[in-house]
Amino acid sequence: MSHPALPTTDAAFADALAESPRGEGRDGVFALWLVVRAALGGAPPLAAPAGQQDRLRAVAARLRSLHPPAPLRRSLQAAIADLQRATAASLVLSQLVAPTAECHGRPLAEVVSAAARAARAGRAA
């Protein structure tokens, strides 16, 4: 079972990846996509999967091999740490909106913001 917001989010990130130049731009989009998926994967209406901590460790390890822009890299590391402490996914995603806008522009930041709203709506359900 997956979060209802994932198909739309995945499609938007696939488009952003296709348009991103190689290097830190593409690494940033890919790293952001990994963290957004991890956050939504542990967000309501889904029950917290038993392997969520293992998945978060795997995402953190994968992020270490990527080279996103510095402001986004710091925010992604903080987001993974927050998710590992079971901070609400909606809050974690909301904190990624500004660095995403700074590094990748407003359209991708809107995708992250929509994911945060979807996570918040799932928690309220």
| Helices and strands of the chain, counted as H and E runs | 7, 0
Q: For residues 95 and 34, what is the distance between their CA atoms, to the nearest angstrom?
A: 15
pLDDT of residue 2: 67
DSSP letter assigned to residue 5 = T
pLDDT of residue 33: 95
Q: For residues 33 and 109, what is the distance between their CA atoms, to the nearest angstrom?
A: 12
CA 1 to chain centre: 18
Q: What is the pLDDT along the chain (125 residues), one digit of tens a residue?
A: 467 777 888 899 999 999 988 898 899 999 999 999 999 887 665 555 667 888 899 999 999 999 999 999 999 999 999 999 988 999 999 999 999 999 999 999 999 999 999 988 875 43
pLDDT of residue 37: 92
pLDDT of residue 52: 82
Whats the size of the chain, residue-wise? 125
The pTM of the full predicted model, rounded to 2 decimals, is 0.88
Would you say 96 and 68 are in contact if contact means Cβ atoms under 8 Å apart?
no
